[in-house]
Homo-oligomer: A and B are copies of this chain.
Amino acid sequence: MVQPEAYADEPWGDRVEANYIVRSREPFNAEARMDGLVDSFVTPTERHFRRNHGPIPNISGAEWTMTVHGVGAGGARVVRLGDLARLPQFEVVAVLECAGNRRDGLQAIKPVNGVTWGAGTASNARWGGCRLRDVLGAAGVPTDLCDPFYATSRHVEFAAYGESTDDAHYASSIPLEWVMNPLNMVLVATRMNGLPLLRDHGFPARIVAPGIIGARWVKWLKYVRVQDSESTCFYQKRDYKILPPIANGANCDEFWPRFPALMEMNIQSAVCRPAPDEALQPGRPYTARGYALSGGGRAVDRVEVSLDGGATWALADVVANAAAAAGSDRDRDWSGRHWSWVLWSFAIASVPPRCTIACRAWDSGGNTQPAEATWNYRGVMNNSVFRVTPRMAGGTSRL
């Protein structure tokens, strides 16, 4: 249990509350307001959502150390910021999405165990740092995926400084082979949008794991450890899993070991404009806007919008995408990994007097979003078709 006084040193000066819907203060959990979220392809840091499982550590960059150890790493090594700076530096524009994004849609079906979130726990940022692969390689972990070392599946566990509400500390893991593929761009990140990380975002160093749910992007890194099996931490074993609907608070212990820890994001999209409290003018033109994203490096190939709640669909315009950000020409060559969200827009010539605006996306894995949500105990990975019924100016109340 975290004691209340552990929250005495929170970075309140870094939090522009007008940008957020604050869901809890201790720990600080705040999602981005829909209005403004998709004004830019790269989300400004001050609008980027904040998701925490405990008090924010206050670490001196000069004094920070991270330990690298485990199978193949030939004994523990202590790494400082200066060591990271001497490795090749990379930047990747990648969307960070909490697996609980849009939990409110599952909460509406039946109570779930978790912080309530709308669609504001997804944001795109330019992350900078060194590859975790290079950190592990420098510590003696084989870097060639043909090495017999990789005949066995292994994990890399990331652990955070500070306390957490559900376990001794926050820790989580992902498969080692994913980390060691340099094209997956798993970083020990020290910069976000060109500046040092804010404390809320993991200062001085965090994991950036593009294509993978936010729960694995561990902040305030204390150690990284190569091990023979996945993390045994609460956040790996008893959280961030899609349990079947029969699992609940009374019987979930039976189900945790039967279902795997989440990793890649699923295909997802949301309407940001109109925002939930925005009034539309019937008969006037309006441009709906939103985001779409997928996991595992898959591209968003198509976004569709419906004005009748999902009965009929039309193509939206994708106005910014990862390929554009990387300077490539999608018409020429469809290969490459996609780590960013895409922004979309849909011009409505004349707003109908009553409408429910819906969006859905399709990814390069051929998947699309289900029409209706399926409830799960932890309220994760809700990617059902997004619907918003806007209030109409002139007195029509919101449905």
Please provide the chain A residues from 297 to 347 with a CB less than 8 Å away from any CB of chain B in the complex: 298-299, 301-302, 304, 313-315, 328, 330-336
**A230-B335, A365-B367, A367-B367 are known contacts. Are A298 and B246 too (CB-CB below 8 A)?**
no
Please indicate the chain B residues that have their CB under 8 angstroms from the CB of A150 in the complex.
Answer: 182-183
Q: Is the CB of B229 within 8 A of A332?
A: yes
Q: Is the CB of B364 within 8 A of A154?
A: no
Chain B residue nearest to A299 in the complex (CB): B260
Q: Is the CB of B301 within 8 A of A366?
A: no
A190 interface residue per 8 A CB criterion: no
- A246 partner, pick from B230, B315, B372, beta carbons under 8 A: B315
Q: Is the CB of A296 within 8 A of B365?
A: yes
Please indicate the chain B residues that have their CB under 8 angstroms from the CB of A155 in the complex.
Answer: 333, 335
Please indicate the chain B residues that have their CB under 8 angstroms from the CB of A295 in the complex.
Answer: 365-366
**A145-B181, A246-B315 are known contacts. Are A333 and B265 too (CB-CB below 8 A)?**
no
Please provide the chain A residues from 124 to 156 with a CB less than 8 Å away from any CB of chain B in the complex: 144-146, 150, 153-155
- A374 partner, pick from B257, B368, B380, beta carbons under 8 A: B368
Please indicate the chain B residues that have their CB under 8 angstroms from the CB of A259 in the complex.
Answer: 301-302
Give chain B nearest CB distance to A122 CB in angstroms: 14
Q: Is the CB of B367 within 8 A of A228?
A: no
- For chain A, the bracket of interface size reads 35 or more
Q: How many copies does the complex hold?
A: 2
Q: Is the CB of A371 within 8 A of B368?
A: no
Q: Is the CB of A336 within 8 A of B367?
A: no
Please indicate the chain B residues that have their CB under 8 angstroms from the CB of A368 in the complex.
Answer: 370, 374
Where chain A touches its partner, the secondary structure class is: loop
**A150-B183, A175-B336 are known contacts. Are A315 and B264 too (CB-CB below 8 A)?**
no
A244 interface residue per 8 A CB criterion: yes
**A230-B333, A296-B296 are known contacts. Are A260 and B370 too (CB-CB below 8 A)?**
no
Please indicate the chain B residues that have their CB under 8 angstroms from the CB of A357 in the complex.
Answer: none
Q: State the CA gap A150–B304 with chains docked (Å).
A: 33
Please indicate the chain B residues that have their CB under 8 angstroms from the CB of A262 in the complex.
Answer: 364, 366
Interface string of A255-274 (1 = CB under 8 A from B): 00111111111110000000
Q: State the CA gap A314–B380 with chains docked (Å).
A: 19
Please indicate the chain B residues that have their CB under 8 angstroms from the CB of A242 in the complex.
Answer: 301-302, 362, 366
A42 interface residue per 8 A CB criterion: no
Q: Is the CB of B366 within 8 A of A381?
A: yes
A177 interface residue per 8 A CB criterion: yes
**Quick one: which of A154, A244, A366, A369 has the most chain B CB within 10 A?**
A366
Please provide the chain A residues from 219 to 239 with a CB less than 8 Å away from any CB of chain B in the complex: 228-230
A383 interface residue per 8 A CB criterion: yes
Q: Is the CB of A264 within 8 A of B229?
A: no
List the interface of chain A (C-beta within 8 A of B): 144-146, 150, 153-155, 175-177, 181-183, 228-230, 242, 244-246, 257-267, 295-296, 298-299, 301-302, 304, 313-315, 328, 330-336, 362, 364-372, 374, 380-381, 383
22 A-B residue pairings within 8 Å (CB atoms):
A144-B144, A145-B182, A150-B182, A153-B328, A154-B335, A175-B335, A177-B183, A177-B335, A181-B181, A228-B333, A246-B314, A260-B330, A260-B364, A263-B364, A265-B365, A266-B366, A296-B296, A365-B367, A366-B380, A367-B383, A368-B370, A368-B374
